[in-house]
Structure formats: C-alpha cells, structure tokens
Chain A
Amino acid sequence: MSKVNKQSLWTSIKSKYSIYFVLIVLFLVCWLANENFVSVENIKNISTQISVGTILAFGQTILIISGMLDLSSASVLALAGVLSVSVYKMTGSLLLAFVAAILVGVICNILNGLMVTRFKTPPFIATLAMMTIARGAALMYTNGQNIYQIGAYIKFGQGRILGMPTPVIFMVTLLVLTWYLLRHTVFGRSIYAIGGNEEAANASGINVNRIKMQAFIINGIFVGIAGVLFMSRVNGGMPNGAVGYEFKALTAAVIGGTSFSGGIGTASGTLAGAFIVGFLDNIMVLVGVNSYLQQIVRGAIIALAVIYDIWAKTKRTKRKLGSAEAK
C-alpha cells in the first residue's frame, strides 16, 4: 500500500510541476542554442513582449477553470484601447483614460456574462458574438483610422520603473492578483467547483450565476488594462490591433495546464505557458527560423500541450479506476 502511495505521490508531483520543468529545459536549450538569448535585456524584452497576451491569459485562466472562455478579449481590448486613447486626447488625463478602458472592458464582459447566465448562451457563442460586435464598434468609432500622436499615453506601456518595463510590472501585479483570487478567496474556490461540476456546486450553496458574472467582470478589468498597455506600446489607438491575441491568451493558458474540461488550472502555470511561447518565439527569431515555419512550430506546440494534458488525465483516471476497483 505504501508503495502505491509513493508512486502516486511522485506521479502527482510530476504532473503538477511538469510545466515548470519544461520551461527550465527550454530555457537551457535556448541558452545553448544562442549566446544572445541569456542577457538581462533580452529576458526583459521577452517579458515585455508577452505581457499583454499574458494579462489576457490570466482572465482566460479564470474563465476556463470555471468551464467558460472568452473569444472576445482581443476585440474588446481594441475597443477599450481606442476609446481610452481618445479619452486621453480629449481630457489629457491619464487616470481618466485608464478608468475608461477598464470601464469598457467591464461593460462588454457584463454583456458576455448576461448572455451566459441569464440567457444560457454557451460562452463560446456569446463571446464569439461579442468578438465581432466589439471589433465593429472599435472600427466604427475610429472610422477605421488609427489615432496617432498620443503623447504621454505611451508612459503606460513604454515607461520603466526602477529599470523594469511597466508592462512587466502590470503583468506581475496581475499574476499575484489572479493567484490571490484563485487561492485565497471564496470566489476562487467557487470557480474551481463550478468548472469541476456545476450542478454539484449549485447544490452545495454556491450562487453559480453570480460567480460566473464576477469571473467575466474580473476578465473585463484585465482586458481593459491590456488595452491600455497595447495601444501605448504601439504608439497609437489602433482599432485593428491585437487581432488573434485571444488565441495567444488561450494558448498560454492551455500550455500552462489549464484544462478545457474545467476545474483545473493555476495563474503561475499560465505564466509558465506564456514564457514557453515567448522563449520559443524569441529563440526562433535569434537563430533565424523562417517566419512561416515559426507559425507551424507554434501550432505544433499547442497540439502537443493538449495531447499531453489529455494523455496525463486518462493515465490518471485509469490508474485511479484501477486502484478504486481493485482495492
């Protein structure tokens, strides 16, 4: 019996920390592959590059754990971003611009949440609709034109505090916030329960609709912040910006071990997932891999991550079924 326990402990450690192991191995491989990879500036560079996508990924992580997802995050990012830039140009207040972005993110996500909780639309469909609506709204508002000359607005995304790029500071702060929410709050525990078994969560006294709504609202705040950082980094309000970022975010979450069947996932796993993608992209550029091939590699990584996730899960269930049946 003790042998069985030891074995399952080791397997559980393996499955729990495998993603960090992969990250470290990748880091070492990159180090060996190119001498320019390991330098303070390059690592800062990678971190800055992944920050916007990773912030979206934290929101996705919360939603995926609870059995939902957000396809609209990149479009809402664009809408929040252009409105925020234009608020700044009108008022000259960075604070108001920041608040405006968050407000837009939250409103769009309240609509997502209403569709899901009130009208029982599957999150995939609800956020697919929002994806199209928000992008359309961003384009309509700007008449399809980019907004340039954004002045001090670039401080959000291009500034440094104590030598640290501001996007990285935002990313780390939201990492800690996501970790705190998932680990230390009733909300977090409820999220895992709802994703694991919604009906049982409801029968345990959890207000499922309220928690789902809160998850969308938190996602909205993250999307708003990501919108500010993105526009600031590209020096303008771009209604066509960040296309495909929702998938970048989903990729980071999935590689980081968040399970699409719900109930499983962590903030730090998602960060690791984002860095894995970031390292890969960076090293491919450094060693001069053809940019089309880069895409193929990125896709293959997603496929591998999901296959591994499913494989690890069936192995786990099989082992458990075996031991439960034969005890």
Chain B
Amino acid sequence: MNVEVKLRVSNIEKSFPGVKALDKINFAVKKGTVHVLCGENGAGKSTLMKVINGIHKPDSGQILIDGQVVEISNPIQARSLGISMIFQELNYMPEMTIEESLFVGNWPKDKFGKVDWKEIRKRTLTLLEKEQLSYDPETKLKDLTVSDIQMLEILKAISYNSDIIIMDEPTSAITQKEVEVLFKKINELKARGTSIIYISHKMDEIFRIADEITVFRDGCVVDSRPKDAYDMETVITQMVGRKLESVFQKEDIKIGGTVLQVKGLTSDGKFDNVSFEVSEGEIVGFAGLMGAGRTEVMRVLFGLDPYQAGEITIKNKNVNIKNVKTSIDRKMVMLSEDRRRFGIIPVRSVRENVSLSSLRKFIYDGRLHPEVENQTVTDFCKKMNVKTPDYETSIEALSGGNQQKVVLAKWMVTNPDILILDEPTRGIDVGAKHEIYKLMTMLAKQGKALIMVSSELPELIMMCDKIYVMSKGKITGVLRREEFSQERIMAYATETISQEGVNQ
C-alpha cells in the first residue's frame, strides 16, 4: 500500500538550557492514518508536538506538509496550515457555552464588525448535527464531563477543517465506554483522510488504534514501523531501552485482621449506602466507570467532603471523620487522582512537600529542627526512590512519576495504617508505574491496608486481593481474586448483571 505522506519532520533539533530535548528527529505521518507516538515521560514526544504546533521553535530542521517546507511560529499559524492539537490537560473556560467555545478566537463577524451570534448558532447546529452529537449549544462547559469537552475539542478541530490532528493522551481521563466513542470518531476522521498523531502510554489502546507506531527515547526516535511489524513486548523494550517485565507479579501477602470497616456510607446526590471492609496487608480495588462515585466515596472517607449517614470503624473504633486532620490522626491518608490540584505545592521544594503533613515531627520546643527534617525527608525519598537533584529543588521540576513518589513519601512520613490511592499511576510512564506497584507491595507487606481506585482494569486485576465495583453511586458487585476478569468487572460496572446481597 502506497499512501502519500501528509506531514514530515526532518532533522528537527531542539535544546533547552542544559538539555537536548530533541536530537535529529525524523518521522512521517501518512494521509488518513493514525500514527502513535510512544515513549516514557520526558522522551520528547510532547516537545516535538509543541514544535509542530508552533509553541516551541526548533533550533534546526524542517517541517514539511504535503511536501512543502513550512514555517510554523505559533498555534494560530499551525491551525491555518490544518494542524490542530488536543492537549492532555484540557484548558477550558468553565463559564463558556458550547457555541462560544467552538468559535473562541475565531468568531464570525457581521458587516459592522460585531460578533455574529446567529451565524455562530447556525454553524454550531450544523456541526453538531453533522457529527451526530446531541448537545445544546447553550450548555456551559462546566456542566459537561471531561470526555464531552474532549469531544468538543475534536469538533473544534473538525470545524477548522484540520487535516492533521494531534491528540496528547486523550484517554487519560475518560472511561472505557467513552474511549469507544473516541475511537469511533477517530476512525471516521481517518476515513475522511485526516491524519492523526496519537500520543499514549496505554499499550492495549495503541495496538487497537495505530496504523503506525514510532517509539521515542531520550529525545531520539528509536524506531518507526507499521503496527503489524510490532508487538507489545518490542514497544516496551524499545521505550525503556531495557527488558522490562510487562506484567508485574503480585506477591502472596498474609492478610490480617480488619482495619477499616465502612457501613452504609451515604452522601446525598453522590453515593448511597456504600459498605466495604479492608484488612491488614490487603489491597482492595475499586472499579467502575467514571462518575460511578468511587472518588466521591474516598473523598468523604478522607474528610474532604461531608457525609449524611453511615458508620466508619477504624481498628474496631467508631470514628467521626470531620476533616482531613481527623483521618490523618486516625492514620488514614489519601493519594489524590488529581496530583496537580490536590497533591503538590508547586512553588515549594521537595523537602517542604514531603514534610507538609507531619510538621509537628520537626517543629517542637518552639523551633524547627532542620537536621531532623532533612534526615526524615532523605530517608523517605530514598525509600520511595525519588529521583531529584536535591531536596531543595522545587517539586514542579520533577517528572510526573517522581512527583507522585514525593506525595507518597509525604504520606509515609505520617506512618499511616490505611492508604487510599486514587488512580496512583495516572499519567506516569511504564517504569514509574512499576515502581509504584513495587511500593504498594512493600506497604502491604508491612501490614498496611491499601485501597486502590483505578480505571485501568488490568492494573486492578494484577494488584488487588478483592475488587468492589461501583455504578451510579452504589456498590454493584464484589469479586475475590479467583473471580477476577475484565468482563465480569465491566458487567457489574455497567449493571448488565447484578449481585445479590452485596450491601449486607
């Protein structure tokens, strides 16, 4: 099959002070295909995409569209050349309506130079109809789900008549069902001749959607082949540059007495009558589609949100969780799904981030004891294998995986009995994921009780001893390890089957 090349980059180089981000990058995207880029965080994929989108200026090299050399100096220019980018972290204005957001920066004007709202409405409706989406143009973005907003971004790209669409980890925040919708859309776009550059960490997705795959490592292209010439093992090996066990082996850990018991927990409008138990050394999973109420349950349990009914028992003691402080005092901590929002203090150092929840350990007798603090921070960062030049470096300079380890270190300093991990591996690379799994195993071995909320079923199946499945604010099923299968979990999550007696 000989398809024409839509976009080609040749010998692109880009350096940031002190580091070479891209080193003589060559690759080509064919018309009407999906080209997947993989690589660990920091391999240079996003930097290259920013070069193509005009956000970064390359030091040398060329970009060719349809065989013509083009100069792209900003995203608006990129758009006029038919390139649209859908960012990993969606930036949107929550107060905007759908129609406003579709035309932001590109409003049609009438003959007086005034924004032509009638025209906007007309075009929005045509677009929505053409793409068979049933949104009301006046809905505000804040009332939509993440995947809806993503769909709108795609719609926007279509409305600009883009024939190259870059998607940076589009599935990192959406559920399996929504992934299907996205993939359907991608296939439609392909059929129209649009080229798609797709960045992802998720192997199963990559192999479903890709026509071609290019692997990045340390700012270089390692290899680029059609999908059929690749297998998962090869991609992973090329990504990390070493042989990595693609499946983590769960160890057998002795499960002790019940540590946490939740009975009939209810938060009006969010979830209803949720009951579960976690024991020492046990890893308990929570599966479900996005919006099933898993994160909401954990937030209540951790004291971030109030609850209306239910009993929480920790080590046979009835506790009333009023705020985060009470749950930390009861030795229960939570790693949030949204690290940037609830996990890190970006402008402060690694040291301050680690000690934040245990300040009383270092500040006593009326003063700070820096030597105690430094020692503790060093110890825990080493245990968590945090890679940082030093502990005074500000945390935002670290990669996502290392930031996650710092947040975990912060919680470990409080010496918790119960750890709630909400999407602990979201947005971090394969290598760091394995380290997180290893740390979880280590913690379970120490007799800690772990709760893991995850949207990645393989991960839950691999790590957990027991999985609770939620749907629409209720627990719809509970599975023991020997009963685990993706199909069964999905069946409970979508309530195609129901299990009796779960909530007793």
B342 touches A199 (CB 8 A): yes
Q: What is the bound-complex CA distance between A4 and B394, given in angstroms?
A: 15
Residue in chain A with minimal CB distance to B22: A326
A184: which of B19, B348, B368 is its contact (CB, 8 Å)?
A: B368
Hey, what's the 0/1 contact readout for A1-43 against B, CB within 8 Å counting as 1? 0011101100010000000000000000000000000000000
Secondary structure of the A side of the interface?
helix
Hey, what's the 0/1 contact readout for B340-357 against A, CB within 8 Å counting as 1? 011111111000100111
B399 touches A199 (CB 8 A): no
Residues of A within 8 A of B363 (CB): 184-186, 189
A320 touches B396 (CB 8 A): yes
Q: Does B360 contact A (CB under 8 A)?
A: yes
Residue in chain B with minimal CB distance to A3: B18
Q: In whole Å, how far is B94's beta carbon from the nearest beta carbon of chain A? A: 16
Known contacts A184-B368, A186-B360, A322-B19; A200/B324 CB under 8 A: no
Q: Does A163 contact B (CB under 8 A)?
A: no
Known contacts A186-B359, A202-B324, A203-B336; A4/B19 CB under 8 A: yes
Q: Does B82 contact A (CB under 8 A)?
A: no
B348 touches A207 (CB 8 A): no
Secondary structure of the B side of the interface?
mixed
Q: Does A201 contact B (CB under 8 A)?
A: yes
Residues of A within 8 A of B344 (CB): 197, 200
Residues of A within 8 A of B394 (CB): 320
A324 touches B42 (CB 8 A): yes
B348: which of A202, A203, A263, A317 is its contact (CB, 8 Å)?
A: A263
A193 touches B21 (CB 8 A): no
How big is chain A's contact interface, by range? 35 or more
Q: Does A264 contact B (CB under 8 A)?
A: yes
A264 touches B366 (CB 8 A): no
Residue in chain B with minimal CB distance to A203: B342
B44 touches A326 (CB 8 A): yes
Residue in chain A with minimal CB distance to B299: A203
Q: Does A192 contact B (CB under 8 A)?
A: yes
Total B residues in contact with A, Cβ cutoff 8 Å: 47
Q: What is the bound-complex CA distance between A67 and B258, given in angstroms?
A: 42
Known contacts A326-B47, A326-B219; A193/B18 CB under 8 A: no
A263: which of B302, B345, B398 is its contact (CB, 8 Å)?
A: B345
B16 touches A318 (CB 8 A): yes
Q: Does A91 contact B (CB under 8 A)?
A: no
Q: Does B46 contact A (CB under 8 A)?
A: yes
A193: which of B356, B393, B398 is its contact (CB, 8 Å)?
A: B356
5 contacts between A and B (CB under 8 A): A189-B356, A196-B346, A325-B21, A326-B44, A327-B399
Given A204-B324, A263-B346, A321-B16, 12 more A-B residue pairs with CB atoms under 8 Å apart are A3-B18, A8-B393, A192-B352, A201-B356, A263-B345, A263-B348, A320-B394, A323-B17, A324-B397, A324-B399, A325-B21, A325-B47
Contact surface of A with B, Cβ cutoff 8 Å = 3-5, 7-8, 12, 183-186, 189-190, 192-193, 196-197, 199-207, 259, 261-264, 317-327
